[in-house]
Amino acid sequence: MAGLHLKNIPDHLHRMLSLRAQQNRRSLNREIIVMLEQALAADSAAASATVAEQLEEVARCRSRFGGELSLDEIDRLRREGRP
């Protein structure tokens, strides 16, 4: 396993982390690992939802235009939308 050393942690943040670790009956190190895992999982879930939403939008656009667009059609639509 890789190691990580944190430097210059503000005193108030260290106290908050220590208190949280005690409340959860974990070591300070384990508490930080759990918090990092939760934060990264939440970011990953949000990114996945965003990708899923984008794919749904693509599907809606395709259905509006009757399916797949050729590159020529895309270029024509781009030109039409520009002043």
Distances (CA, A) of 76 to 14, 29, 37, 68: 59, 58, 47, 14
Q: Give per-residue pLDDT as tens, 16-72.
A: 999 999 999 999 999 999 999 999 888 787 777 787 788 888 888 888 877 777 888
State the amino acid at position 5 in one-letter form.
H
pLDDT at 26: 95
pTM for this predicted structure? 0.56
Structure tokens at 69: 């667009």
CA 26 to chain centre: 27
- In terms of residue numbers, what domain contains 57? 11-80
Please count the structural domains in the chain.
1
- Give domain status of residue 72, yes or no: yes
- Give domain status of residue 6, yes or no: no
* DSSP-derived 3-state class of residue 40: helix
What is the distance between the alpha carbons of residues 83 and 74, in angstroms, rounded to a whole number?
A: 16
